[in-house]
Amino acid sequence: MADLKGRFGRPLRLGIIGGGPDSWIGGMHRGAAEMDGWWRATAGVFSSDAARSRAAGPRLGIDAARSYGDVTEMLSAEKARPDGIDAVAIMTPNDTHYPFAVAALEAGLDVIADKPVTHDFREACDLVARTRKHGRLFAIAHGFSSYPMTRYARALVRDGTLGRIRLVQVEYIQSGLATRIEDGPQNNRLRWLLDGQRSGLALVMSTIGCHAQHLACHVSGLNAARVAADVCALLPGRTVVDYVSALIEFEGGARGTFTATQAAAGGENDICLRVYGEKGMLDWSHRESGYLRLAIQGEAVRIIGRGDTFLPADIVAAGRTPRGHPEGLREAFANIYADVAQERMARALGDTPQHLAYPRIEEGAHTMAFIEACVASQSKGTWVEVAKLPLAL
């Protein structure tokens, strides 16, 4: 992987879909993509309104000639250019992720998509099939599993430091739905978010629950096999789901607990994970995202910090400043962009592929199966199996 950027000779060119000047996640994606020089945000479509989209590009530093009116126009115009885009990043309202991802894959482009990757498991399986058929890369913007310390947690599980995993506990608590925002003034964002046809099968799973499930599965290396879930609204009279709690049985028999809610008044952005194995446990909280607590039975507890020099080289490289200097979600997003770029450039240069930890479309499909199983468990009142990817894909 040495000097990939130099040998490839140029930054990859990214086409942005969504993330107009009014969207905070748009700035996160663009800043993360460009942070380490792997990518340049080169073209884009920033609104469902063609005129607004064209006007938005230059405000974000995108060449007016490459600020398009819609996705079809961008894909065909960029294909015709000798310096066309290499990939798209999708950060539009949730119901558009699937059709835009299909269009990009069919145009031969790699995809970085925001979550939830699709409306349901069937669509996600279709994206897995198309990604494999076209030999493309498909990443999902799960920032929390891309922090150096959550990546190190995953590495500790993979190398057996905790022994066989017995219990995984994850929670993600926020207050964005702690008041009846559905009764107040609606902006564009709230209009699509509060419409289940557009935002997904269970609101809190689309907004934050998917991140918690992904973090638990990605770090533990375990997929959920069965769930028994409580899917409801904590606020009286509310028709959207603001709370999901679930018991999980993972493949291989480990157990888990999961809670996601945005109806917790006073909650901030509190995502945390504990993984317990037969030898010990690890504990990560977003409040102290640069640290990981590792407790091996019978040994002194260790607080490991991002930037500690004894960490493996890939974990050190996932941070950008010395220990004690805060980093955050933007850097975590940048790790996803860096991984996709490295895999893309390595392939182009014929280098031996190396396993990179970024969240992939197969994991996005598991998230959709998990959400469907939680919803089905609530309506049936029983444990429900989580669908597996068909072997034929």
Ligand X SMILES: NC(=O)c1ccc[n+]([C@@H]2O[C@H](COP(=O)([O-])OP(=O)(O)OC[C@H]3O[C@@H](n4cnc5c(N)ncnc54)[C@H](O)[C@@H]3O)[C@@H](O)[C@H]2O)c1
Q: How far apart are CA 215 and CA 144, in angstroms?
A: 7
Q: Which residues, at least 6 apart from 102, have a Cβ–Cβ distance to it below 8 Å?
A: 126, 127, 130
DSSP string across 61-97: T--GGGB-SSHHHHHHHHHTSTT--SEEEEES-GGGH
Specify the residue for token string 């769930």. Answer: 227
Which CB, 270 or 385, lies closer to ligand X?
Answer: 270
Asked if residues 214 and 206 have their Cβ atoms less than 8 Å apart, the reply is: no
Q: Does 19 bind ligand X (CB under 6 A)?
A: yes
Beta strands 280-285; 269-277: pairing state? antiparallel
Looking only at residues 160 through 189 of this chain, which bind ligand X when binding is defined by CB under 6 A?
188-189
Question: Using CB under 6 A, which of the segments 89-97, 284-292, 305-313, 347-355 binds ligand X?
Answer: 89-97
Give the shortest CB-53-to-ligand X separation in angstroms.
6
Please count the helices (runs of H) and the strands (runs of E) in the chain: 14, 14
CA–CA distance from 381 to each of 152, 229, 246 (Å)?
37, 8, 12
Which CB, 93 or 221, lies closer to ligand X?
Answer: 93
Q: Does 31 bind ligand X (CB under 6 A)?
A: no
Which of 35, 96, 102, 251 contacts ligand X by CB under 6 A? Answer: 96
Binding mask 188-217 for ligand X (x = CB under 6 A): xx----------------------------
Which CB, 22 or 63, lies closer to ligand X?
Answer: 22
Helix, strand or coil, per DSSP, at residue 246: strand
The residue number with the shortest CB distance to ligand X is 20
Q: How far apart are CA 43 and CA 45, in angstroms?
A: 7
Helix, strand or coil, per DSSP, at residue 273: strand
Tell me the sheet residues that pair with 224.
250
Q: Does 220 bind ligand X (CB under 6 A)?
A: no
Which CB, 113 or 376, lies closer to ligand X?
Answer: 113
Which CB, 49 or 278, lies closer to ligand X?
Answer: 49
Which CB, 140 or 345, lies closer to ligand X?
Answer: 140
Which of 31, 69, 93, 163 contacts ligand X by CB under 6 A? Answer: 93
Q: Does 89 bind ligand X (CB under 6 A)?
A: no
Asked if residues 340 and 33 have their Cβ atoms less than 8 Å apart, the reply is: no
Which CB, 57 or 148, lies closer to ligand X?
Answer: 57
Q: Does 20 bind ligand X (CB under 6 A)?
A: yes
Q: Does 63 bind ligand X (CB under 6 A)?
A: no
Q: Which residues of 372-381 are buried (b: 16+ CB within 10 A; e: fewer)?
A: bbbbbbbeee
**Omega prior to 99 cis, within 30 of 0:** no
Q: Does 269 bind ligand X (CB under 6 A)?
A: no
C-alpha torsion 149→154→158→164, nearest 10: 110
Asked if residues 196 and 235 have their Cβ atoms less than 8 Å apart, the reply is: no
Q: Does 25 bind ligand X (CB under 6 A)?
A: yes
Q: Does 118 bind ligand X (CB under 6 A)?
A: no
Specify the residue for token string 């008044």. Answer: 265
CB 324: neighbour CB atoms within 10 A?
9
Q: How far apart are CA 143 and CA 129, in angstroms?
A: 24
Tell me the site size for ligand X, rule CB under 6 A: 22
Give the shortest CB-66-to-ligand X separation in angstroms.
14
Q: Does 48 bind ligand X (CB under 6 A)?
A: yes
Q: Does 114 bind ligand X (CB under 6 A)?
A: yes
Give the shortest CB-270-to-ligand X separation in angstroms.
14
Give the shortest CB-139-to-ligand X separation in angstroms.
11
Q: How far apart are CA 318 and CA 338, in angstroms?
A: 9
Which of 42, 67, 92, 261 contacts ligand X by CB under 6 A? Answer: 92
**Tokens describing residue 269:** 């952005």
Q: Does 46 bind ligand X (CB under 6 A)?
A: yes
Which of 94, 174, 213, 223 contacts ligand X by CB under 6 A? Answer: 94
Looking only at residues 321 through 380 of this chain, which bind ligand X when binding is defined by CB under 6 A?
none
Q: Where does this chain bind ligand X (CB under 6 A)?
A: 17-20, 22-23, 25, 45-48, 91-94, 96, 114-115, 141, 143, 188-189
